Amino acid sequence: MTSAPDRPLRRGWTTGACATAACRAALEGLWCGTVPARVTITLPRGETPTFDVVNARHGDGWVEAGVIKDAGDDPDVTHGAEIRVRVAASPGGVVFRAGEGVGRVTKPGLPIPVGEPAINPVPRAMLDEVVAELAVTHGRAPDVEITISVPGGAAMAQKTWNPRLGIEGGLSILGTTGIVRPFSCAAWIASIHRGIDVAVASGLTHVAGCTGATSERVVQKLHDLPDGAMLDMGDFAGGMLKYLRRHPVARVTVGGGIGKMTKLAQGAMDLHSARSRVDLAMLSNWVGADLTGCNTALEAATREPALAGLVAREARLRVRNMIEAEVDVVVIDRAGAVLAHAR
């Protein structure tokens, strides 16, 4: 068992906050001739963090500066990456460009139109504000081309949802508050929501939420689903189902191991081991045999083979009570063998 940390988890900064800081440094260089070693920015909720600036460069009509992303104690794939911004004059207004390692939107359903660099609305607003502020300070026109790059970002993006969401070529520049909160449940649930948005906008009528890689592989093969239909539900069944209730699709499959599917069948919407437990007494009542001495739901199902089918059916009823859709539930063992399929 992993022990709890003996100190508060350290928060970090989003790619959007890092890009804003790098942009501020580069603009100072463009309009004043010197790139500062440190810059301070204002986040959407009023906080004012300071960032070290790295790898300042300049050329004919452009200046570039970088900030190394610190994600705090969050296991973020971009932790330690350089978020690099180049600024130059634009023909008019603020123009955003995707440099190396920053993706481009290719599917509808995201908050950024198809064809645009994958720089989300809040980071765009933060960058706009920096341009406007410094333009007034230095008596310049706020006509700036901003190119954001993340060296190595294309490889990092393969470890994110971006390929499924239709963001090609690299990472997204993200953040709604500018702050990365360690192990953020909200960030995971937001990714599920974006996956549903993209699936709906792409015309898909069947999506699948699975608890892990094994169940996802089994369900995708079982139903011959495209990657865009697969939602990395993880432990957040409630987060997925509540969003599907407001943004319905015709058909939903839920898949997972018997332990997590048992918790869903028993009414839990957060399937994490720290936040929900298998009720062995309830399982005993379902099958009419004493299973309270079992250590896991899988052990109980091994002892009473009919249990897996009961779990699948009860889980399907729980899902059907939350959403209006054709629903099926797939229950697997640790090796990926299907123990039950309720439809």
Instruction: In whole angstroms, give the CA distance from residue 67 to residue 127.
Output: 14
Residue listed under structure tokens 């008019």: 92
3-state secondary structure of 342: strand
Instruction: In whole angstroms, give the CA distance from residue 330 to residue 171.
Output: 32
pLDDT tens-digit readout, 147-175: 999 999 999 999 888 998 899 999 999 98
Question: Could you tell me the two tokens for 256?
Answer: 């997972």
Residue 23's CB is within 10 A of a number of other CB atoms, namely: 29
Instruction: In whole angstroms, give the CA distance from residue 39 to residue 35.
Output: 9
Q: Of 119, 115, 107, 116, which is closest to residue 199 (Cα–Cα)?
A: 107
Q: What is the pTM of this model?
A: 0.77
Residue listed under structure tokens 């957060």: 270
Instruction: In whole angstroms, give the CA distance from residue 105 to residue 167.
Output: 5
Q: Return the pLDDT at 273.
A: 79
Question: Could you tell me the two tokens for 147?
Answer: 């190119």
Question: Could you tell me the two tokens for 198?
Answer: 């993209």
- Specify the pairing of strand 326-332 against strand 338-342: antiparallel
Give residue 76's pLDDT band: very low, low, confident or very high (50, 70, 90): confident
> Is-contact 331 340, C-beta < 8 A?
yes
pLDDT tens-digit readout, 273-331: 778 999 999 999 999 999 999 988 999 999 999 999 999 999 999 999 999 999 999 99
Q: Of 227, 108, 115, 238, which is closest to residue 169 (Cα–Cα)?
A: 115
Q: Return the pLDDT at 184.
A: 67
Q: What is the mean pLDDT of residues 247-252?
A: 97
Q: Return the pLDDT at 3.
A: 38
Q: Please calculate the CA angle 118-121-122 and round it to the nearest 5 degrees.
A: 120
Q: What is the mean pLDDT of residues 210-222?
A: 94
Residue listed under structure tokens 């869903």: 264
Q: Of 14, 130, 9, which is closest to residue 76 (Cα–Cα)?
A: 14
pLDDT at 205 over 90: yes
Q: Residues 6 or more apart from 295 whose CB is under 8 A from it?
A: none
Q: Of 257, 307, 316, which is closest to residue 282 (Cα–Cα)?
A: 307
Instruction: In whole angstroms, give the CA distance from residue 52 to residue 143.
Output: 25
Q: Residues 6 or more apart from 108 whose CB is under 8 A from it?
A: 114, 198, 201, 202
DSSP letter assigned to residue 228: G
Instruction: In whole angstroms, give the CA distance from residue 277 to residue 260.
Output: 9
Chain mean pLDDT for the chain = 93
pLDDT at 126 over 80: yes
